[in-house]
Every structure is written in C-alpha cells, then in structure tokens.
C-alpha cells in the first residue's frame, strides 16, 4: 500500500502527455518539461525532494538516462539543487527567490548622505525585483554549457549566441531590422556610446547633435572622445528636427544622439513626421543617428513604439542596455550598427560567462517575462503616484507619463528645484532637478520623479513629504 502512493502521485504530477502540440518530443525533453511545469505551477514546491533517478525512471517507465539527463539540465540551470549525499530538491522557480540580501541599512561610513527611503530618482529599475533567481539560473546554465574550446577563443564583437539572441529580441520586440553580424555586446549604453564616438572621432567627426535636455553621461562620453555636443531643443513631439537640421548646417555636425521612443527626460515619443524628417536629414548628409533605446519596453497605454532603426538601418545605430530594464549591476547592453561602421574592438568586453548568460536569459524568454511583470508593476505604481500627486499637489503640471519609469513635475512659480533636492535629502527623499539634464534651453523649474525603485508601500508617504517640502519652500 505504502509503495503505491508515491508511484501514483509522481505519475500524475509529471504528466508526460501534457506537451503542447509541435513541441520537441524526445522523452528526455518531455520529462524535463513535465518537471518544469510542475515547479512553475507550484505543484512541486521549493525544497521538495525528488525521487532518486532510478525510482522515477521506473515509475515513469523510461530509462534512467532520460531522468538523469533531465535532472542534470535543471540542476545546471539552478532550478533543482543536487548535493552529494542528499536528495535532489527543487531549489529555484518563479516566485522562489535566492536568500534575500539584508534590507538597506545606514551606510557604514559616517559622512555618507542619509539613506534614501523614498527613492524618486530617475533611471533606476526596481532593485527589489531584480530577477536574481532567473539570472542565477542563466549563469549556471552558461557555466555548464559553454564548450571548453570557446573559453579562450576571441569574440571580437561579442559571443555569437548572445549576438544572435539580441538580434532576435530586437526584431521581435523592437521591430528593428536585425542582423546578428551587426550586433556588438557591450557593458551598456554608455559603453556603446564610448566605442561608437571613438570611431566617429577617428572618421573625422568633431561635433555631435544632442537633445537638450538629455542624459548627461552619454554627452560626457562623446565629449571625452573629442566630439563637442551641440544642444538641440526638444518639445512635446520630441527633438526639434528643424532646429537639428539647421544646427547641422551651421556646425557641420553629422551625428545626432536621440531618444525617439521616449525622450529623456520629458517622455515624448518622436512624432511620425519628425521620425521621417530626421531620417531624411541623415540620408541627405550621410549622417549617423544614434538611437538611445533606453527604456522603450515600458509603454503603458499603447504598444511600444518600434525602433527608429528599422526605418533606416544604414543610418541608425541603436544602443540598448539592461541597466534600466533589469539591473545596472549586470553591466550588459548591445549596439546594432549600420554595416558601414565597425567600432573599435573593446579592450575590456563583458565576460564570456555573462554574455552566455545573456543569451540564455533572452532565448528562454526570461527577459520578456521579467519585462511583462515589471510593466504591470510600474503601471500600477504610476497610477498610485499620479493619484497621490493630484490629491496632495493639485494644480501642478505632470508630463511624460505615457511610458518609462519617471515623470516630470513642474513646480509652482518661485520654487527652486535645487533647494528641494537638498531639503528632500533630509526627509529621506531622493529627488532630482530637471536642471541637471539641461544644457542650454531655459526650462521651467521642475523635478524629474522616478518611480522605478519607489517602494509601493511608501508611495503616498513619499508624495505627502514632497508636498510638505514644496509648501514650505513656497512660504
Ligand atoms: C536616457 C538614458 N540613456 C542611457 C543611460 C545609460 O545606460 P547604461 O547604464 O547602460 O550605460 C541611462 C541610464 O540611466 C539613461 O537614463
């Protein structure tokens, strides 16, 4: 009696016939998928012990090899945990996390700024929702599956499977015109910009058109590589392409750095007319558009806007990064370049293991799964933040809410954003003045409020504190 219960249970639990039609169907794959399904659907809980491979093989009526192979793959990915002398157990899976790191406490150094409790800084994803387990699984898989002969080989533009995976992702998700041969794996957008502007300088470029306002680090990198940034104003339709063309004629600039999907920091999408106009400019002058596709995945009310790159693959270099969509700690990104440009080979490319993990993360669909969850979380957070702002700060203009992880809050006349940022630090608020991103065009005093890393439990409290700060500043 006692023996028949587990046998029946395992047979039912691991339904080898539940595969979707058309899926690969070797027995080994079916056992692996059945285990995955049982874990994903919570029927096998974290920590539960699996039968020895011989016993499960007998129960399922398959050879032992089939089960050890399936276990081996899942152990390599970190989904199962196998320790010598003890049973193979479920270790990781959706909803299960690696041991949590300690909550952020005060910094050990006494002269550090007070900790930020209400994180309203732009450009930071939800650090609490870093997909640690999935990335750990990707790393384990990379280590387990990288062939020995690849370990010491040169990968000048990046590891081929990672470049293929990025090309496929950009085609599927950003509707870019992909060609794996044109993808370079980088440490992120800044690294891509560094490599690209070094090449532009080598080709004789000495200026670059840059949106004003814009993300300062990319400007700074261009400048450090000998390209003087020429600021181009932006409005509610994105960068002003008439002014861009005029400034190009005036300065001879033949490269432009733009954020067409989501202008940073105002949040506008480049209008269809301007998309065409900037491409016309690039074609007429054999110029290069650098498309900083920094948080295009987070669009809430409509489908994401396709990459500009697909309209003119010979004139657009797309730079992307996992820094804002997954975690800045990964230090991974990519560039998709026109065939005419080959950037210098990086002296310190991302580690091969990280690149192989990136390939796994993308091809398994973990990146898109992560994005779906993050998008839904940010959509709710944005709605609550907006409600709180309307309630506690009525009458203040909010812009740039259609996409991304931040919005722009215009301040009451006479209130200086810089004064709020220092006062806010004392209240535990991480605030950023719009002015930080502006180079030339005067703008209304505003704050750029990020909500990527704002704790959901603290949204209302954060806005109440901000409202207090703004009221006090006005008195
Ligand atoms: C608009 C924009 N572009 C580029 C970057 C830089 O990305 P990375 O960290 O990959 O260098 C950021 C970072 O926050 C950003 O906000």
Residue having the nearest C-alpha atom to atom 3 of ligand 1 = 294
Tally of CB atoms within 10 A around 151: 9
Region 335-345: mean pLDDT is 89
β pairing state of 333-336 and 255-258:
unpaired
Specify the fold of 369-474. 3.90.1150
What is the token pair recorded at 277? 């106009």
Domain 138-366 belongs in CATH node 3.40.50.300: no
Torsion angles phi and psi, residue 198, rounded to 5: -65, -40
> Under 8 Å CB-to-CB from 433, ≥6 apart: which residues?
417, 418, 420, 421, 445, 446, 447, 448
Cα of 292 vs centre of ligand 1, distance in Å, is 8
Instruction: Name the pLDDT band for 124 (thresholds 50, 70, 90).
Output: very high
Helix, strand, coil: what percent of the chain each, to 5?
45, 15, 45
Asked whether 218 lines ligand 1 (CB < 6 A), one says yes
Amino acid 45: pLDDT? 76
Q: If you average pLDDT over every residue of the chain, what do you get?
A: 88
- Rounded Cα–Cα distance for residues 451 and 387 (Å): 13
Among 317, 322, 324, 350, say which to mutate for ligand 1: greatest number of ligand atoms within 8 Å of CB.
Answer: 324
Cα of 149 vs centre of ligand 1, distance in Å, is 34
Instruction: Name the pLDDT band for 431 (thresholds 50, 70, 90).
Output: very high
Residues 154-195 have pLDDT tens digits of 898 999 999 999 999 999 999 999 898 899 999 999 999 999
Amino acid 344: pLDDT? 78
- Rounded Cα–Cα distance for residues 413 and 430 (Å): 22
What is the token pair recorded at 352? 């091969």
Class of the CATH-defined domain 4-90: mainly alpha
Cα of 335 vs centre of ligand 1, distance in Å, is 13
Amino acid 133: pLDDT? 97
Region 426-455: mean pLDDT is 96
Strands (DSSP E) along 155-253, which ranges? Answer: 183-186, 207-212, 228-235, 238-239
Q: Of 62-71, 257-266, 417-426, which range is least confident? A: 62-71
- Rounded Cα–Cα distance for residues 120 and 231 (Å): 26
Q: Which ligand 1 atom is the nearest neighbour of the CA of 331?
A: 10
Q: What are the DSSP calls for 38-93, one per residue?
A: HHHTTSS-TTPBPPPHHHHHHHHTS-HHHHHHHHHHHHHTTSEE--TTS--EE---
- Sequence spans of domains, the chain: 4-90, 138-366, 369-474
């Amino acid at each position: 009696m006692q023996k028949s219960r587990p046998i029946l249970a395992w047979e039912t639990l691991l339904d080898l016939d539940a595969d979707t039609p058309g899926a690969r169907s070797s027995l080994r794959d079916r056992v692996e998928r059945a285990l995955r399904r049982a874990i994903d659907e919570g029927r096998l809980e974290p920590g539960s012990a699996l039968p020895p491979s011989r016993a499960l093989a007998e129960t399922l009526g398959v050879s032992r090899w089939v089960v050890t192979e399936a276990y081996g793959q899942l152990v390599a990915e970190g989904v199962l945990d196998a320790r010598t002398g003890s049973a193979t157990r479920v270790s990781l899976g959706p909803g299960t996390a690696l041991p949590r790191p300690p909550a952020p406490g005060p910094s050990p150094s006494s002269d550090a700024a007070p900790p930020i409790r209400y994180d309203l800084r732009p450009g930071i994803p939800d650090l609490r929702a870093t997909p640690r387990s999935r990335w750990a699984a990707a790393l384990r898989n990379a280590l387990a599956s990288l062939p020995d002969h690849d370990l010491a080989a040169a990968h000048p533009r990046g590891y081929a499977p990672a470049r293929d995976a990025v090309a496929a992702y950009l085609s599927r998700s950003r509707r870019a015109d992909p060609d794996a041969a044109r993808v370079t794996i980088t440490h992120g957008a800044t690294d891509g910009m560094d490599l690209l502007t070094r090449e532009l300088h080598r080709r004789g470029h000495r200026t670059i058109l840059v949106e004003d306002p814009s993300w300062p680090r990319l400007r700074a990198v261009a400048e450090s590589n000998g390209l003087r940034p020429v600021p181009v104003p932006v409005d509610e339709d994105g960068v002003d392409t008439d002014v861009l063309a005029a400034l190009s004629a005036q300065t001879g600039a033949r490269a432009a750095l733009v954020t067409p999907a989501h202008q940073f920091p105002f949040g506008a999408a480049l209008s269809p007319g301007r998309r065409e106009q900037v491409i016309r400019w690039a074609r007429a002058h054999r110029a290069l558009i650098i498309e900083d596709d920094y948080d295009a995945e987070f669009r809430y009310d409509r489908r994401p806007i396709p990459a500009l790159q697909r309209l003119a693959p010979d004139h657009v270099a797309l730079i992307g990064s996992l820094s804002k969509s997954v975690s800045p700690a990964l230090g991974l990104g990519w560039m998709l370049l026109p065939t005419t440009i080959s950037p210098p080979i990086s002296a310190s490319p991302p580690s091969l293991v990280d690149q192989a993990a990136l390939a796994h993360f993308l091809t398994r669909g973990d990146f898109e799964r992560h994005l779906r969850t993050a998008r839904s979380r940010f959509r709710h957070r944005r709605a609550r933040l907006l409600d709180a702002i309307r309630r506690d700060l009525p009458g203040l203009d909010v812009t740039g809410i259609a996409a991304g992880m931040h919005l722009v809050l215009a301040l009451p006349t006479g209130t200086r954003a810089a004064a709020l940022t220092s006062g806010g630090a004392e209240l535990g608020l991480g605030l950023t003045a719009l002015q930080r991103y502006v180079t030339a065009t005067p703008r209304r005093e505003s704050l750029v409020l990020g909500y990527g890393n704002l704790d959901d439990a603290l949204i209302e409290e954060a806005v109440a504190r901000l409202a207090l700060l703004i009221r006090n500043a006005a008195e």
